[in-house]
Amino acid sequence: MSALEIVTLINDEDAQVALAVRQELAQIARAVEVVVERLQRGGRLFYFGAGTSGRLGVLDASEMPPTYNVPADLVQAFIAGGDAALRRSVEGAEDDREAGAQAVRGAKVGAADTVVGIAASGGTPWVLGAVGEAQRRGAATIALTCNPDSALARLADVAITPAVGPETIAGSSRMKAGTAQKMVLNMLSTATMVRLGKVYGNLMVDVQPTNAKLRRRAQRIVALACGLPLEEAAALLARCDGETKTAIVVGLAGVAPDEARRRLARAGGRIRDALGQSLIRDQRCSSLR
């Protein structure tokens, strides 16, 4: 096959992934409800996976603090073989079921937490050990696997099982299976943060402006939310000590920053509730990129 024929074949196979994930939307939504309920009562969200599955979990967890300003321990991820396996394959680690259970014990997973086991085949011993131990400790458990008829799917409380079919290269689960897992993790964490009030409309209002790019993004968010020129939004943000949510409440409610903070505290951080709005303005966010 020519290079073009190869990439066309891969693209044709990839086109089936979104359709497979779509068949699992009800289960993904159910998983979101489980996670939100647990987080609201002080729990945490954990991902446990091996190989590509583990790396995808670590990727998703690591992006939560800068994107949604949540504590670093709220969403945690563990990979078979430890952090060294993020850069170099540690293939034998996934076969150790007791090591998976020990990872759960080491993380002090408890009854208020949710554990997501990620394994394309649904039979990875390390992941099964982690999910089994999580259940013994009273945690809610979610399976993310591309094999509906698998030990992991049968073990967990909620099973998300996009059936993507055979890989272009037989057994290379970093391809369609990995893409499906990434899509599901995007949905799971994003929908959870939306339900927790971490966005306003579709604006990333809890972003941490820790570098120049994110400071500019925060300014654009305030400008869009409040209908202000960018320069005025920047001045408003500065007046509110760089706090995006506070600046939006100040801009829309016309209150002082301290009052805006009090309103947000009473509203659990939800801007809509802090403003007492039943509807929010239409946001145009293409300029946020």
pLDDT of residue 288: 45
- Judge if 156 and 266 occupy the same domain: no
- Judge if 175 and 257 occupy the same domain: no
- Catalytic annotation on 94? yes
Q: Measured between alpha carbons, how far is 142 from 137 in angstroms, rounded to an integer? A: 14
- Judge if 106 and 220 occupy the same domain: no
What is the percent of the chain with per-residue pLDDT over 70, rounded to a whole number? 96
Q: Encode pLDDT of 192-248 as tens digits.
A: 999 999 999 999 998 878 889 989 999 999 999 999 999 999 999 999 999 999 999
pLDDT at 188 over 60: yes
Mean pLDDT taken over the chain: 93
Cα 228–chain centre separation: 31
Q: Enumerate long-range contacts of 224-227, CB under 8 Å, 24 or more apart.
A: 224/283, 224/284, 224/285, 224/287, 224/288, 225/200, 225/201, 225/251, 225/252, 225/271, 225/281, 225/283, 226/251, 226/252, 227/281
- Judge if 47 and 110 occupy the same domain: yes
- Judge if 25 and 110 occupy the same domain: yes
Catalytic residue among 13, 37, 63, 259: 63
Domain holding 163, by residue range, is 3-195
Q: Is 11 exposed, middle or buried (0-12, 13-18, 19+ CB in 10 A)?
A: exposed
Please count the structural domains in the chain. 2
Q: Measured between alpha carbons, how far is 223 from 219 in angstroms, rounded to an integer? A: 6
pLDDT at 118 over 90: yes
Under 8 Å between Cβ of 79 and 90: no
- Judge if 176 and 229 occupy the same domain: no
Name the DSSP class of 240. Answer: T
Higher pLDDT residue, 87 or 182? Answer: 182
Residue type, 42: G
pTM score of the predicted model: 0.89
pLDDT of residue 279: 41
Under 8 Å between Cβ of 77 and 57: yes
- Catalytic annotation on 243? no
pLDDT at 13 over 90: yes
- Judge if 143 and 237 occupy the same domain: no
- Judge if 257 and 125 occupy the same domain: no
pLDDT of residue 277: 58
Task: Report, as an integer, the average pLDDT of 107-124.
Answer: 97
Strand order across the 158-160 sheet: 75-79, 45-49, 114-118, 140-144, 158-160
Catalytic residue among 94, 133, 167, 243: 94
Q: Encode pLDDT of 273-283 as tens digits.
A: 999 853 444 44
Return the CATH number at 256: 1.10.8.1080
